[in-house]
Every structure is written in structure tokens, then in C-alpha cells.
Amino acid sequence: MVDNESVARGLETYHRLFGETDIEPVTAKPKGLRFFTIAHLFGNIWSREEQLIMRDRSMITVALLAQQGRDSELKKHIQGALNQNISSDQLSEIMIQVAHYGGWAAGHNGQRITQEILKIRKELVRLNVDIGKAEKEGNVTFLTHILDDGLVFHRASGDVIDKKQYLQDLQSGARTYETLDSDQVKVWFEDDSSVVTLRVTTKGKRNGEDFSGQFRNVRKFVKTDHQWQCVAWRNSRME
């Protein structure tokens, strides 16, 4: 049955699996096929945890998508599996199983995609550390290369600025940090597979300010000429 309760349950289940993957998160009123995906697949199927918990369903889904060669969906569900604390070694074992029961090529391709995602995650987690260090130190040169010329930056204050304004503020010293620590770093692959979203929870105190705050940074990256560039950035204060 599809009703308002199943939509709400589906949204909750979706975010438990994939997290808040978008700068603009999945809305409470999905439309078209998206509606049935949220209301039925996640609201009535993924939420059935009496016999199979989400972690079980995640491993089954990864194996099925690998066997079918559904690369785009597989990338997203590998991320969901990592969110369920399914390790890289366990994902490798899943692909070994797929190879023996679903075809060697399917298992090999699934393993290739898994390794690709783990490599990108490692790169972006490292890049997040470098961006945090550059912000703290006011390293405009580094950020000039990392930020796309068309960057749109939503500050926690509600202001929306471009790359030029961001770098000017940083260079003036007005937006540098006295302390800046990051945790809960998560990486997601967008549906078109060319955009990767990095979400980070940070705790920071700016120079000249008496208070510190906790923030959520959501950045979108694309890779051009073997280098990651940030094309969108939203910073919001957490309660």
C-alpha cells in the first residue's frame, strides 16, 4: 500500500541507507517514478527489517546489481553498503561470490567498480584535509586551483558568494580559522556518476570571534584533467 506513511517511512529508510546525498536533499513530495521508488521500494520493501536488516538487503542488492552489470546503480549501492559498515574486504568477498555464480566478467567488473569507488573516497577524504588546512592558513593559491571558476558558495550566514569573493575574504584574513577540526566525512556518487558529493561535519572557531560552532559542509566535485575541482559548496550551522 502506498500512502503518506509509506512515503515518510521511505524517506527515512532512503536517508539511512544513502545519507543526505544532495545539496538539495530528496524532498518529502517525490514525483513520478521517484515517488514509487521512495514510497514502495524504500517504504514497503527496504523497511521490512523483521527478517532481513538493511545491511543484509544492502549486500544482496550489491550482488544483484553487479551480476546484472548495472554500473551506475551499483556505484550508489556500494556507497550505501559502506554506510552500513560493510567493509572493503566484505565487498571483495561479495564479488568473488558473484564471479562464481553470476559470471566471471560480472564479478570482475563489480570488483573494478568497488576499487574505483574506494580510490575516489580516499582521494576526496585526503582533499578534505587539505582544504581544511588551506582555509585555516589562508592558503589562497591552493584553493584557487581546487575551486571551479563557476563555484557557488552558500555560507552558513545565508549569503551566497562566488569564488572571487570567497578568495578575497580568505586573503583578507577575515574568514580564516583559529581552530578547525573535521569528522564524519562521507562521500557519495551522484546519479550521473560524474559528480561526487563530499559531506563533512566540522567544528571551528574563526580568528577574532569569541565563539566556536559546528557546521555541515557539503561540497560537489568533478574531476577534470586528472584534478578534482569543487563546483558547489554549501555550509550550514548545526544546532
Asked whether the beta carbons of 14 and 26 are under 8 A apart, the reply is yes
pLDDT for position 238: 74
DSSP-derived 3-state class of residue 201: strand
Say which range, 54-68, 101-115, 146-160, has the weakest mean pLDDT. 146-160
pLDDT for position 2: 65
Asked whether the beta carbons of 207 and 177 are under 8 A apart, the reply is yes
pLDDT for position 226: 80
Strand arrangement of the beta sheet that strand 147-154 belongs to: 160-162, 147-154, 227-237, 213-224, 196-206, 177-189
Asked whether the beta carbons of 146 and 140 are under 8 A apart, the reply is no
Determine the average pLDDT of the residues in 104-121: 95
Whether pLDDT at 33 is above 90: no
pLDDT for position 228: 93
List the grid coordinates of 204: 571551528
**In this predicted model, what pLDDT tens digit does every residue of 3-17 receive, in sequence order?**
788 888 999 999 889
Please tell me what DSSP assigns to residue 42.
I
Dihedral in degrees, nearest 10, Cα atoms 8, 11, 14, 18:
-140
Determine the average pLDDT of the residues in 209-220: 76
pLDDT for position 186: 75
pLDDT for position 24: 46
Determine the average pLDDT of the residues in 180-189: 69
Whether pLDDT at 144 is above 60: yes
Which residue's C-alpha cell is 538539495? 24
Asked whether the beta carbons of 207 and 178 are under 8 A apart, the reply is yes
Whether pLDDT at 34 is above 90: no
Structure pTM? 0.78
List the grid coordinates of 65: 546489481
Whether pLDDT at 112 is above 60: yes
List the grid coordinates of 102: 553470476
Asked whether the beta carbons of 26 and 10 are under 8 A apart, the reply is no
Highest mean pLDDT among 106-110, 165-169, 176-180: 106-110
pLDDT for position 178: 62
Distance (Å, whole) CA 67 – CA 63: 6
Round the average pLDDT of the chain to a whole number and report it.
Answer: 85
pLDDT for position 23: 42
Ordered structural domains, the chain, with CATH: 4-118 (1.20.1290.10), 119-237 (3.10.450.50)
Give the gyration radius of the chain's Cα atoms: 20
pLDDT for position 202: 76
Determine the average pLDDT of the residues in 184-209: 71
Determine the average pLDDT of the residues in 159-163: 93
* Encoded amino acid at 3, one letter: D
Whether pLDDT at 77 is above 90: yes
pLDDT for position 229: 93
Up-side HSE of residue 25: CA atoms within 13 Å toward CB?
12
